[in-house]
Amino acid sequence: MGNPADDIAAMPVERAIERLRAIYRGWTRDTTVAQMRRDWDAAFAGCLAPVSCRHVSAGGVDGEWIEPADTPRDKAILYFHGGGFRIGSVESHRDLIARIAVASGCRVLAINYRLAPEHRFPAALDDALTAYRHLRDQGLRPADIAFAGDSAGGNLVLGTMLAARDRGVPLPAAGALMSPWTDLAATGASYETRAAADPVHQRGMILALAKTYLGRDGDPRDPLASPLYADLDGLPPLLVQAGDRETVRDDATGLAAKAKAAGVEVELQIWNGMIHVFQMFPQIPQAAEALASLADFLRKHLHIGHRKASQ
């Protein structure tokens, strides 16, 4: 017999899975990309965290400042949303980003980078680099900027760092990655070992998203598209979080191992029983725990003190 406590603990995760499946069930071969994007944004729209949101053009890239009250003006997190480079936006991720902002006590610039298939690689990467330059042009030092992102956004955290390093641009203080998609060739063993446990992300779907992003002749092992294949030397400290149930788990574990071998300071957290980007679901207790850990990491590397409970 199963442990009743385990069954109760799993209930919020199962509700999150059903929420995801309800979205995917509504899509057919005839559903347009535009409709998928609208459905995804609508499913995750809303924000209960105490923040202000202000639209901004970040060097020509559409973005939004998401700011708790009384955050330092000389610090910022640059956030890249997930969605397989095909869907997702600041709107769909606003609540997650706001919870990160509140927990870390730091304002966040989130951007709507260009999406495939209209804009293939490296359009999203170019937009991420432009947003990073925008922050520096506003007078922020690289040491006072951290990157954060989930899934495809985690890919952009790494790709932006790598491209900046290769161009001689000073790197940010740190990077926080949630379920990062680092291998567009989908070679990890977890695509097989976690296939039954992952409710959504199967290898065929991942490869289709990769092809949409890269184009017919794109190389899934290009280091700037798939950071798992990059030389990671010189990157700033990284925090990598992933769920044990997700097929892309080895994208996280492989990246962390390679970063550590390259001398990068890296912390890997694998969360038992958790799904892809479980942090998006506040009803899952482990989501709050993971974001608290992520916020501690960001505060440490941005040198932001803990906020008083009254703030």
Determine whether 92 is an active site residue. no
Two tokens, residue 2: 């199963």
From 89, 92, 151, 226, active-site residue: 151
β-pairing, 108-111 vs 238-243, is: unpaired
The per-residue b/e assignment along 166-180, b for 16 or more CB within 10 angstroms, e otherwise, is eeebebbbbbbbbbb
Q: Check: CB of residue 153 under 8 Å from CB of residue 109.
A: no
Amino acid at 299: R
Instruction: Give a three-class secondary structure readout of the chain.
Output: CCCHHHHHHHHHHHHHHHHHHHHHHCCCCCCCHHHHHHHHHHHHCCCCCCCEEEEEEECCEEEEEEECCCCCCCCEEEEECCCCCCCCCHHHHHHHHHHHHHHHCCCEEEECCCCCCCCCCCHHHHHHHHHHHHHHHCCCCHHHEEEEEECHHHHHHHHHHHHHHHCCCCCCCEEEEECCCCCCCCCCCHHHHCCCCCCCCCHHHHHHHHHHHHCCCCCCCCCCCCHHHCCCCCCCCEEEEEECCCCCHHHHHHHHHHHHHCCCCEEEEEECCCCCCHHHCCCCHHHHHHHHHHHHHHHHHHCCCCCCCCC
Q: Which residues are catalytic?
A: 151
